[in-house]
Structure 1
Amino acid sequence: MTRLLKTKKFIFGASFLLILLTLSILNTVFNDGEIRKAPLFYNEDGALEKAPPYPPFDVFLFGSDMYGYDMLHTVIEGAKYSIGIVIVVAFFRMALSILLSYFLFRVPERIFNLIKAISEPLSFFPQTLISYFLLSTVIIYTIDGFHHPFWVRALYEFIILILIALPALTVQLIEQKRRVWKEEFIESAITLGGSKRHIYFKHVLPQLYEEWILMFGQQFLQVLTLLVHLGVMIILFGGTIIGDGDPPTSVTHEWSGLIGVNKRFMLAHEWIVYVPILFFTLTALSVA
């Protein structure tokens, strides 16, 4: 861990995420989550001169959306959801898998093979499709409105995003621990009378924590990719509002929602889609 903290790549990545999260939270606390909006521009004769969407380097640095809202400000406001969701989901995936693997890694070979046989098919089935079918009925706005309050929808999505990865991730951690348990130094510790708990915490875990840090980064990227896929399929965090004849809108300004809602502008006003994609890419590079 100390070696990791000294690497420039880690410092840059952590600083990027921390700055984005801080700015996003400050915008909510001190600005009530409001986003800058450019007005319509009229000439001296009162005729409309310019209207949104404004391209980059015109009114705002990264341009505006169809309603004149600053794209950079919008991305910053949504950062606490986008990055926060990914960190929370990746953390609980790892934490729950580590806990489950602690109780299961020394089960008999026959039982472990059964667990592995059940979990492996799930790892080949696309997580995006599983998430879509489980979330669509809860997340999408209906003619009667949302059937559940925001916190229920958000909690349900968190649970689904965490659980779909647990079987395969737990099996992977079990295999890691079983590999270490077969090492000669573990056999020596057992011979010297070390208890199973002592051997696990003093000898097994020190061999694995660096791998777990890398696995956390992998889960971070996996969740990030999953959110992008769901955003393109208009499954947006917290809820998707679909009106009669109106384009879908997001309850939050989370980045995958910005991509999914605005993908229709990919050819006409491409910066509206490219700005959240850019920040998704930078976020992925910060942990890669």
Structure 2
Amino acid sequence: MNRTLLTGLIITVILIAMSLIGPYLVPYNESKEATVHYSVDANGQGTLVVPPLSPNAEYPLGTDKTGNDLLAKIIAGSRYTILVTIVVAFARTCIGGIAGLFLGYFGKDKIKSARRLPLWNVLNGIPIFIIVWMVMIGISINAVIPPLFLTIMLAVVMTMVGIPSVATTIREKTLVIRDKQFIISARSIGASPMTIIRTHIFPHMKESLIILFVQEIVLILGLMGQLAIFNVFVGGSTMYFDPVEYVSRTNEWTGLIGQARNYLYVYQWILVFPLLAYLLFIFGFHLISVGLESIYKDKFSKVSHL
């Protein structure tokens, strides 16, 4: 295990542990609000305390504009961020990986770009987040559907739009492996396609699938961040009027970032702390991906010795 992989694992394990045991350690829950009160210091100076409160001894990360403890909100929302990204990435990798193995083994060789259907080229150029946004925008804002059900719907949509890219990647790798001599030999002695895929091709794809799984987590986190810019939050958005603002129903990290992006020049901590948690999570999995690639590259590389 190299330092890059170890650092990434430490970061992600700490964040996952925080999401699991954090709610039992913070002094307040995400729904408790700091009230407006009058404070008198030791010198007799009085101050009217009105939320949002900047970071202090009582609220280490401060509060939002309604007085909710920001640390408690980040910890409460971490479960949605972490669980959704891992589950969606796992589903994409499993379904897309299986489809790619069969498409690569039974499919034809690469089709030249000029022979592809124009419609495929057009659809392939549409950003995934636009597709997800168009599906979810109409049902995410001020929805009567429970947040958990909306979260499941969003997870299903993100899984479906990501399967083709995973399947294509695995298919291309399978096309290369199926022409190897040991595959041809197994086929010549009568091994069934299922046996060849299970016992010969899949073992050569395990490392690629693991790296792909980690990379999918990073891509999904990026997709969730893009959706949050357009007010589609995991679990749904509550829209308030006069002034118009959108609030996350689950306190998921990208939702906290999306609803607080207008506070950059006034109450910076409301935006900065959820953004740091989000970026740290991405950075941790990026390090894991780089570390795994380095390990597998060293493992399978052949160096001549004199």
Taking the aligned partners of 2:169 and 2:223, their CA distance within structure 1 comes to 20
Taking the aligned partners of 2:282 and 2:219, their CA distance within structure 1 comes to 10
Equivalence for 1:42: 38
What pairs with 1:86-165 in structure 2 (closer than 5 Å)? 86-109=85-108, 121-141=122-142, 146-165=143-162
Taking the aligned partners of 1:122 and 1:12, their CA distance within structure 2 comes to 39
Taking the aligned partners of 1:212 and 1:112, their CA distance within structure 2 comes to 24
Unaligned 5+ segments in structure 1 are none
Normalised by the size of structure 2, how large is the TM-score? Answer: 0.80
Which of 14, 17, 31 aligns to 1:16? It is 14
Equivalent AA in structure 1 for residue 96 of structure 2: S
Equivalent AA in structure 1 for residue 103 of structure 2: L
Q: Secondary structure at the match of 1:242?
A: strand
Runs ≥4 residues deviating over 6 A: 110-116
Task: Check if 1:252 corresponds to 2:253.
Answer: no
Query: Taking structure 1 as reference, are residues 147 and 54 closer, same or farther at Cα in structure 2, changes over 3 Å only?
Result: closer
Task: Check if 1:206 corresponds to 2:206.
Answer: no
8 Å Cα contact 1:238-1:251 kept in structure 2: yes
Equivalent AA in structure 2 for residue 72 of structure 1: L
Equivalence for 1:64: 63
Equivalent AA in structure 1 for residue 92 of structure 2: R
What do you get for the CA RMSD once the two structures are aligned?
3.1
Q: Secondary structure at the match of 1:248?
A: strand
8 Å Cα contact 2:16-2:82 kept in structure 1: no
Unaligned 5+ segments in structure 2 are 287-306
Taking the aligned partners of 1:89 and 1:248, their CA distance within structure 2 comes to 25
Normalised by the size of structure 1, how large is the TM-score? Answer: 0.85
Query: Taking structure 1 as reference, are residues 61 and 25 closer, same or farther at Cα in structure 2, changes over 3 Å only?
Result: closer
Equivalence for 1:217: 214
Equivalent AA in structure 1 for residue 69 of structure 2: D
Taking the aligned partners of 1:165 and 1:120, their CA distance within structure 2 comes to 17
Query: Taking structure 1 as reference, are residues 24 and 87 closer, same or farther at Cα in structure 2, changes over 3 Å only?
Result: farther
Which has the bigger relative contact order, CA under 8 A and spacing at least 6? 2
Equivalence for 1:76: 75
Q: Secondary structure at the match of 2:105?
A: coil
The alignment covers a number of residue pairs equal to: 280
8 Å Cα contact 1:250-1:261 kept in structure 2: yes
Equivalent AA in structure 2 for residue 202 of structure 1: T
Identity level (%): 22
Q: Offset at 1:152?
A: 3.8
Taking the aligned partners of 1:73 and 1:212, their CA distance within structure 2 comes to 35
